[in-house]
Amino acid sequence: MSQSRQAATRRRLPVMALAAAGLGLALTAGTVSAEDGMQQMELSHGSIIGATCMGCHGFKGMGSGEIPRLAGLPEGVTAGKMTAYKSGSQEGTVMNRIAKGYTDEEIQAVAAFFAKQ
Ligand code: HEC
């Protein structure tokens, strides 16, 4: 009895290993395509980047406490400030580090997004 069960387990293992490998492959493929999609969205949609700013700058960039409002600021003003923070020509507490994380295209996209709020 126990021998035949062992044999059955032995027979099943390669199948399960194959299934696991297949699942792993499918998951990997899924992750890669999802990331590709995200990157395209981040580059083309200021709203995706903008969402990361709202934790501090308030819903839709309306401002929150001491943190300045971004909503309705002309695109050039927000982009100019972000670029100044990025280069270090304007000093802030957190914005220098944050601005350094974005390309000029991303800064333009998020500035355009907040200009429309
Ligand atoms: C961790 C909180 C935090 C996050 C996240 C954040 N900011 Fe800021 N932001 C600040 C603070 C605080 C200031 C005031 C300057 C300083 O101290 O760095 C500021 C200032 C600014 C200013 C200058 C506004 C003005 O009128 O002078 C701009 C533009 C700006 N942030 C854009 C952004 C954008 C765009 C994002 C998202 C990519 C963002 N911020 C994310 C906290 C944050």
Q: What residues have CB less than 8 Å from 107, skipping those under 6 apart?
A: 79, 82, 83, 86, 99
pLDDT: which is higher, 62 or 24:
62
pLDDT reading at 32 higher than 90:
no
Q: How confident is the model over 39-66, as a mean pLDDT?
A: 85
Residues 57 and 109 in one domain: yes
Residue 80 Cα distances to 53, 64, 84, 86, 95, angstroms: 16, 21, 6, 10, 13
Q: Are residues 117 and 74 in the same domain?
A: yes
Task: Give yes or no for residue 38 having a pLDDT over 80.
Answer: no
Report how far residue 4's alpha carbon sits from residue 12's, in angstroms, rounded to the nearest whole number. Answer: 12
Q: Are residues 86 and 98 in the same domain?
A: yes
Check residue 35 and give its pLDDT: 55
Rounded to an integer, the average pLDDT of 25-53 is: 63
CATH number of the domain bearing residue 108: 1.10.760.10
Q: Give ligand 1 pocket residues (Cβ under 6 A).
A: 49, 52-53, 55-57, 67-68, 70, 78, 81-82, 92-95, 98, 110
Q: Across residues 45-50, what is the average pLDDT? A: 92
pTM of the model: 0.73
Q: Are residues 58 and 103 in the same domain?
A: yes
59 lies in the same domain as 93: yes
Residue 116 amino acid letter: K
Contact (Cβ atoms closer than 8 angstroms) between residue 49 and residue 39: no
- In angstroms, the Cα distances linking 104 to 8, 38, 64 are 61, 18, 25
Residue 45: predicted pLDDT: 81
Residue nearest to atom 9 of ligand 1 (CA): 95
**What are the residues whose beta carbons fall under 8 Å from the beta carbon of 61, sequence distance 6 or more?**
50, 53, 54, 69, 70, 71, 114, 117
User: Do 114 and 50 touch, CB atoms closer than 8 A?
Assistant: yes
Q: In which domain, by residue range, is 9 found?
A: 1-44
Q: Which of 22-26, 55-59, 102-106 is predicted with the least confidence, judged by mean pLDDT?
A: 22-26
Residues 65-97 pLDDT 10s: 999 999 999 999 999 999 999 999 999 999 999
Mean pLDDT score of the chain: 80
